[in-house]
């Protein structure tokens, strides 16, 4: 059984260093001056924010975890929390577009050979190019082992066939880590991971999916038809794909979770300001306990979610790896559900105004919903948490 007793918190200081405060300020200023003024148009037009991605890249707010030896920023998971919250506070559609390289490049950073890292990581540091994590398929989202794409070995190459969907940034990516079965009869043990260049013959973007929220982020479906990939592009050994996917998600889920905190924080700030301005029955509505308590719960739950994210990131930085699985899922589950609740309550505080597009909170409510779905639904996080609690790791 895993002990859940807060023991991992020993030795942690909540005081940020001057460098961390500086990084946070940089991200907040960019979000305030560049992202916020453009979020509505990107949302309305479902437009990929290429210019903002390039600006974020120039400022050093992208590819946070590419190691310094490959030209990257080499930031800790914890430092990533500070950037992730602020960019998503600006707009989570734009924030996701900027930060999704963390997921795309995650398998290479965590499992690439020195040669693979040297090939795929430095270009990310040099230019604002995008990469994707292509796991989900039309018939396999939560149940990863059910994916049906195949990779058949032919000499020094693999030939990939299949369909991928719900892939962040795929429509603009240079390359993607594609998960496919090298031994379809072996279930999850027959899954492998490959770096696939999106310009390869046989890769076809089939659809840019129109989403309810986070509409600035491209989410695409693509097909692989006899795509030839050099064997040297396989990450790890044949059959390692499932574990590569799971371990990558352990690493990225806190980063996604803190994005939910950013959205919730934005909704809270809007609700707080409005509750002090809006008068009913001769009082600002904040003075009515029904509203005051909603705002109090928002503030409490956001801080709890933030601290769960920080703890999960801290565990990853301690190299706790598999032990961090539980904490990554705690953070993802709680932060996503908190963002949904806080943004829904923020719409409620605004009343009728909250439901119309002229005011900012309806977008935040639409954006929040995705956090309960991507990178593992809230139900999958509960499944992971229950298994980690009840099933000792071998
Ligand atoms: N790290 C390393 N190994 C792990 C692991 C982890 N975190 N979790 C499980 N494993 C290992 C297990 O130890 C087990 O190993 P053995 O075979 O040696 O015993 C093996 O993997 C199988 O584990 P499970 O029995 O738990 O596997 P399962 O088939 O029951 O599935 C699951 C587990 C948790 C449900 C998993 O399928 C899952 O996480 N599903 C959600 C997938 C997900 O998050 N998808 C999101 C896609 S990305 C995205 O959304 C981004 C985008 O671009 C939109």
Q: Would you place residue 391 in the very low, low, confident or very high pLDDT band (cuts 50, 70, 90)?
A: confident
* Same-domain status, 91 and 12: yes
Rounded distance between C-alpha atoms, residue 99 and residue 223, angstroms: 24
Q: What is the pLDDT of residues 337-356, one digit of tens each?
A: 999 999 999 999 999 999 99
Instruction: Point out the domain boundary residue: 81, 100, 126.
Output: 126
Residues 253 and 323 reside in one and the same domain: yes
Residue % of the chain over a pLDDT of 90: 94
| Residue 118 shares a structural domain with residue 167 | no
Please tell me whether residue 293 adopts helix, strand or coil conformation. Answer: helix
Q: Are both 235 and 251 inside the same structural domain?
A: no
Q: 287: Cβ below 6 Å to ligand 1?
A: no
Q: Say how many Å lie between the CA of residue 250 and the centre of ligand 1.
A: 9
Rounded distance from Cα 376 to ligand 1 centre (Å)? 9
Ligand 1 center to 64 CA (angstroms): 24
User: Which atom in ligand 1 lies closest to the alpha carbon of residue 384?
Assistant: 34
The alpha carbon of 26 and the centre of ligand 1 are apart by a number of angstroms equal to 35
Does one domain contain both 249 and 377?
Answer: yes
Max distance between CA atoms of the chain, in angstroms, equals 79
Among the three residues 239, 258, 293, which one is the final residue of a domain in this structure?
Answer: 239
- CA 359 to centroid of ligand 1, rounded, Å: 39
Domain with 47, as residue range(s), is: 2-126
**pLDDT exceeds cutoff 90 at 8:** no
pLDDT at 102 exceeding the cut of 90: yes
Residues 147, 136: Cα–Cα separation, whole Å: 7
| 299 in the same domain as 182 | no
- Do both 218 and 147 map to the same domain? yes
Ligand 1 contact via 168 beta carbon (within 6 Å): yes
Q: Do 247 and 378 belong together in one domain?
A: yes
Q: Whose CA is closest to 64, among 108, 101, 118, 13?
A: 101
Active-site residue set? 375
d(CA 102, CA 48): 18
pTM of the model: 0.95
* Residues 338, 198 within the same domain: no
Q: Which CATH number goes with the domain that contains 336?
A: 1.20.140.10
Pocket test for ligand 1, best of 242, 321, 328, 381 (most atoms within 8 A of CB): 242
Long-range CB pairs of 372-376, under 8 A, 24+ apart, other chains included: 372/336, 372/337, 372/340, 374/166, 374/168, 374/256, 375/103, 375/249, 375/252, 375/253, 375/256, 375/332, 376/142, 376/249, 376/253, 376/329, 376/332
Q: Locate 85 and state its tokens.
A: 């919250």
Residue 188 CA, closest ligand 1 atom number: 29
Is the CB–ligand 1 distance for residue 288 below 6 Å? no
Domain count, the chain: 3
Separation CA 152–CA 55 (nearest Å): 40
Q: Select from 126, 151, 168 the last residue of a domain.
A: 126
For the chain, the average pLDDT equals 95
Read off the CATH number of the domain in which 33 is found. Answer: 1.10.540.10
Q: Which DSSP string corresponds to 213-259?
A: S-TTS-EEEEEEEEEEEEGGGEESSTT-HHHHHHHHHHHHHHHHHHH
- Same structural domain for residues 165 and 93? no
Distance in angstroms (rounded) separating the CA atoms of residues 30 and 49: 14
Q: What is the pLDDT of residues 290-323, one digit of tens each?
A: 999 999 999 999 999 999 999 999 999 998 878 8
Q: What is the pLDDT of residue 4?
A: 43
Same domain, 382 and 246: yes
Nearest atom in ligand 1 to the alpha carbon of residue 134 is 53
User: Do 105 and 212 fall within a single domain?
Assistant: no
pLDDT confidence band for 3 (50 / 70 / 90): very low
Please calculate the CA angle 307-308-311 and round it to the nearest 5 degrees: 85
Q: How far is CA 106 from CA 77, 216, 334, in A?
A: 12, 22, 23
Q: For ligand 1, what atom is nearest to the CA of residue 247?
A: 1
């Amino acid at each position: 059984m895993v002990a859940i007793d807060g023991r991992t918190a020993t030795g942690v200081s909540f005081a940020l260093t001057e460098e961390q405060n500086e990084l946070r300020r940089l991200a907040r200023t960019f979000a305030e001056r560049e992202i916020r003024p453009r979020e509505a148009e990107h949302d309305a037009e479902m437009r990929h924010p290429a210019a903002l991605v390039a600006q974020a890249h120039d400022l050093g707010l992208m590819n946070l975890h590419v190691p310094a030896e490959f030209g990257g920023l080499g930031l800790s998971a914890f430092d990533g929390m500070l950037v992730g919250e602020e960019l998503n506070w600006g707009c989570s559609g734009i924030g996701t577009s900027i930060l999704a390289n963390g997921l795309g490049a995650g398998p290479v950073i965590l499992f690439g050979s020195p040669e693979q890292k040297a090939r795929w990581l430095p270009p990310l540091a040099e230019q604002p190019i995008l990469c994707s994590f292509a796991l989900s398929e039309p018939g396999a989202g939560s149940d990863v082992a059910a994916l049906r794409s195949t990779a058949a070995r032919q000499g020094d190459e693999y030939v990939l066939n299949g369909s991928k969907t719900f892939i962040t940034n795929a429509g603009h990516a240079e390359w993607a880590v594609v998960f496919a079965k090298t031994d379809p009869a072996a279930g999850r043990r027959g899954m492998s991971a490959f770096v696939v260049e999106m310009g390869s013959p046989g890769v076809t973007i089939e659809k840019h999916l129109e989403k309810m929220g986070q509409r600035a982020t491209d989410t695409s479906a693509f097909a692989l038809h006899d795509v030839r990939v050099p064997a040297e592009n396989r990450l790890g050994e044949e059959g390692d794909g499932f574990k590569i996917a799971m371990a990558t998600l352990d690493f990225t889920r806190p980063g996604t979770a803190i994005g939910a905190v950013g959205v919730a924080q934005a909704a809270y700030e809007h609700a707080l300001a409005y509750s002090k301005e809006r008068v009913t029955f001769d009082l600002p509505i904040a003075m009515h306990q029904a509203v005051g308590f909603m705002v109090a719960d928002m503030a409490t739950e956001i801080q709890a979610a933030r601290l769960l994210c920080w703890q999960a990131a801290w565990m990853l930085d301690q190299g706790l790896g598999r032990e961090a699985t539980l904490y990554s899922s705690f953070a993802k589950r709680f932060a996503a559900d908190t963002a949904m609740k806080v943004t829904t309550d923020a719409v409620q505080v605004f009343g009728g105004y909250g439901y119309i597009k002229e005011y900012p909170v309806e977008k935040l409510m639409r954006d929040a919903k995705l956090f309960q779905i991507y990178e593992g639904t809230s139900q999958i996080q509960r499944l992971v948490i229950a298994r980690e609690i009840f099933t000792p790791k071998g």
